Amino acid sequence: MSVIKVFRSYMAKHHPHLAYKDWKADVRLLSAEEIQNGNIKALLPHEISEPITCWLFFYDDNLNNVVCLLQDKKGVSNIGISLLKNGELVKPISFI
């Protein structure tokens, strides 16, 4: 499933009140050590040693509500997704 389909499906099911915002996306390749938020880091299996692809979705330059989608390095396998609201995970989903 494409990144956009995973994001849209998650938003429609878990956060429908935010689903139709004008979302923007950014993507980064990070090592697990570079992830500073402990809640996001907790979505990662301990055996992951290679960098991961981290998709960040946000709207209106509002960084209080950010959706984080974690994938393997190549962006093929989804690891987890969650809304990060004011630094706290809201309805995290693990795909592993």
**Over the stretch 32-46, which tens digit does the pLDDT of each residue have?**
889 888 888 888 888
Q: How much is the average pLDDT of 65-82?
A: 93
- For 86: left if phi > 0, alpha if psi spans -120 to 50, otherwise beta; the answer is left
At residue 62 the predicted structure's pLDDT band, cuts being 50, 70 and 90, is low
pLDDT confidence of residue 61: 67
- At 32, phi and psi to the nearest 5? -60, -35
The size of the chain, in residues, is 96
pLDDT confidence of residue 70: 94
CB 51 within 8 A of CB 36: no
Percent of the chain's residues with pLDDT above 70: 98
Residue with tokens 């956009």: 4
Strand, helix or coil for residue 6: helix
Q: How much is the average pLDDT of 66-78?
A: 93
**What are 22's two structure tokens?**
């004008």
pTM for the whole structure: 0.89
At residue 96 the predicted structure's pLDDT band, cuts being 50, 70 and 90, is confident
